[in-house]
Amino acid sequence: MARSDETQKVWKEAFSSQDDDSDGLISVGKLETLLKSIGCNPSEEDVQKVISKSNKTVDDKIDFDEFALMMDTYEQIQVEEMMLQTFRVVDQDGDGFISAQELQSAMSDMGENVTEEEVKTMIESADLDLDGQINFKVSNMKGRIFLASKRNFETVTRLE
């Protein structure tokens, strides 16, 4: 995930503020305090997910590069959870797929009047396994995010 210079600077300053002995390392125990200092409010489960995906060492310390990787992972987890919540809203029957009818209904609920042809185009752009429906796991595993609007619908590649 691409991060801005400003974000990098904020993360570096926050990391340094928790590096008490200036050795370039902080204890994993200080991670929650560090995350809160930069505006994150992760659950304990989120912290553990991020640590397990990012910590390259087995000790109780992380360096800035590991922290930056953790933040990228945390942000990716947040985006994926938001996508899943949105998917579940549109997946009205809860079967794990979004049909053309469900998509058209959701678009209508959002005040977007789309034609069957527009819905077909949206489905086709996000239907990676070619079954005529949108499957969150398949779409997500391929690193694609489906965004739909009558005025602006497209498949967007996730930035990593």
In this predicted structure, which of 22-26, 67-71, 92-96, 118-122 has the lowest mean pLDDT?
Answer: 67-71
- Each as own residue / partner, the long-range contacts of residues 53-59 (CB below 8 Å, 24 or more positions apart, any chain) are 55/28
CA–CA dist 34, 14 (Å, integer): 6
CA–CA dist 3, 74 (Å, integer): 13
The residue assigned the tokens 């034609």 is 115
Task: Provide the CB-side half-sphere exposure for 109 (13 A, CA).
Answer: 9
Please tell me which residue, 32 or 142, carries the higher pLDDT value.
Answer: 32
Dihedral sign from CA coordinates of 103, 105, 109, 110: positive
69-83 core/surface letters (b: 16 or more CB in 10 A; e: else): bbbbbbebbeeeeeb
In a 3-state reduction of DSSP, which class is residue 25?
A: strand
| pTM recorded for the entire structure | 0.57
**50-60 average pLDDT score:** 66
The highest-confidence range among 23-37, 40-54, 96-110, 119-133, by mean pLDDT, is: 96-110
